Amino acid sequence: MISLLKKTAAVAVLALSGTVAMAETKLTGAGATFPNPIYQKWVAEYQKSHPDVKIDYQSIGSGGGIKGITEKTIDFAGSDAPMSKKELAAAGGEIVHIPTVAGAVVAAYNLPDFKGELKLDGPTLAEIFHGKITKWNDPKIAALNEGTSLPAVGITPAWRTDGSGTTFVFTNYLATQSNEFKNAVGMGKQVKWPTGQGGKGNEGVTAIVQGTPGAIGYVELNYATQNQIAFATMKNKDGKFVKCSPDSVAAAGAGAVGKMDKSLAVDIWNQGGDESYPIAAFTYIIVYKDLGYLKDQGKAKALVDFLKWATTEGQSTAKEMDYAPLAAPVQKKVADALATLTWSGSPVAAAK
């Protein structure tokens, strides 16, 4: 019995030393749930070519990610909303936002007898979610959809009950469209909606829209496409009606590159241009500019290498997963930003 135990122990020790011999670098990230599918895919792909780097991303929500990076309990955070001034102040050191992909929010609707493609503009959408427009055959909706017949069904707006980056993007967009909405409902990860029904997560809102004739809810693009729910074509800042797609979202991202001088955390909702879809936002990976908190120069190098890979080669997987890739000028800005990251004062990129 005892000899058996000893043997087992010896095997265990051997196994342990085997792991150590590989000199594995382990990176831990946590945060936003929205980009989680593509982050997991990136990690799996990256590990194929870099078996010595192990990356673990936990989708605990943007708030949890920001908390983690502020307390330096994780190596990088994922967040849909850039850190607020208050959060930046709490973080202490200088923070860098790295856009990884862009996502879009669509207004998914359920109108069983409606033929054709629903068209909406920002002010109308704001009034619907504000409870000012309550019937589908309202003249304001009808004016945008000439030649179609809209039913006299009541509108049930559907929204997220949990704090989320999706709500953040959607309310910020509506606030640019209607001052009334901005002052009464406001913007944020979670707001007090004046009317309608709440669901938890994209799946909760999707369930309400699918189960309720007359419902309109905001969900991420991939939820609407995967569940095959119709969503509205939106009128953008330049008056063009644009269907949401990875390409039209990428176009919105490209349009914002001019604002990226000070920080990469820029709003891309309500962008003009012929092809820009207006309810879009980047999602970010957040790190400190000086990676000294990683305690290990090898880790700092591995993190920068991974981010470089994700924002260049990794972008090719974005479209098939319904995320918008970073446009070339944005990729250039990201590369510049990654080059400025330091390890205790000296550039990481140069370190071996």
Note the residues at the interface with another protein (CB under 8 A): 61-63, 66, 134, 153-156, 161-164, 171, 182-184, 186-193, 195-200, 207-208, 211-215
Provide, rounded to whole angstroms, the least separation between the CB of residue 269 and another protein: 16
3-state secondary structure labels for all residues of the chain: CHHHHHHHHHHHHHHHHHHHHCCCEEEEEEECCCCHHHHHHHHHHHHHHCCCEEEEEECCCHHHHHHHHHCCCCCEEEECCCCCHHHHHHHCCCEEEEEEEEEEEEEEECCCCCCCCCEECHHHHHHHHHCCCCECCCHHHHHHCCCCCCCCCECEEEEECCCCHHHHHHHHHHHHHCHHHHHHCCCCCCCCCCCCEEECHHHHHHHHHHHCCCEEEEEEHHHHHHCCCCECEEECCCCCEECCCHHHHHHHHHHCHHHCCCCCCCCCCCCCCCCCCCCEEEEEEEEECEHHHHCCHHHHHHHHHHHHHHCCHHHHHCHHHCCECCCHHHHHHHHHHHHCCEECCEECCCCC
> Whole-number minimum distance, CB 213 to another protein, in Å?
8
115 or 192: whose CB is closer to another protein?
A: 192
In whole angstroms, how close is the CB of 149 to another protein at the nearest point?
Answer: 18
Q: Which is nearer to another protein, 54 or 182 (CB)?
A: 182
Shortest Å, Cβ 215 to another protein: 7
Nearer to another protein, 193 or 323 (CB): 193
To another protein, the closest distance from the beta carbon of 56 in angstroms equals 20
Pick 250 or 281: Cβ nearer another protein: 281
Nearer Cβ to another protein (37/188): 188
**CB of residue 307 to another protein, shortest distance in Å:** 25
The residue (of 195 and 331) whose beta carbon lies closer to another protein is 195
Q: Which is nearer to another protein, 35 or 214 (CB)?
A: 214
Nearest distance from C-beta of residue 294 to another protein, angstroms: 25
